Amino acid sequence: MNMTYLLFGTLVGIVLGINIAVLYRRFFGNKARTETKLRAEIRELEKRLRQKDEYIAQAIKSIKEERGGTL
């Protein structure tokens, strides 16, 4: 009789442990992946912003050179 309770308790514990692990991964694992994705996107946006600033600086420099050459 006691062995049946032990076996039943063990099986219930295993099933509950698997369920908790799946739920934990579903809720908290996705946050880590999402955070990694967002960080990569932020890096990409920062890179594009730096490139935009460089393009603006080049445009200003070329305009100054054109005006200086014609004056």
Q: Write the CA distances from 11 to 6, 15, 62, 71, integer angstroms.
A: 9, 6, 75, 89
The model's confidence at residue 29, banded by pLDDT at 50, 70 and 90, is confident
Reported as a single tens digit per residue, the pLDDT across 45-64 is: 999 999 999 999 999 999 99
**pTM for this entry:** 0.51
**In this predicted model, what pLDDT tens digit does every residue of 34-48 receive, in sequence order?**
888 999 999 999 999
Identify the sign of the CA torsion 15, 18, 24, 26: negative
First to last CA, the chain: 104
CA of residue 32 relative to chain centroid, distance: 7
* CA atoms of 18 and 14, how far apart (whole Å): 6
pLDDT at 70: 56
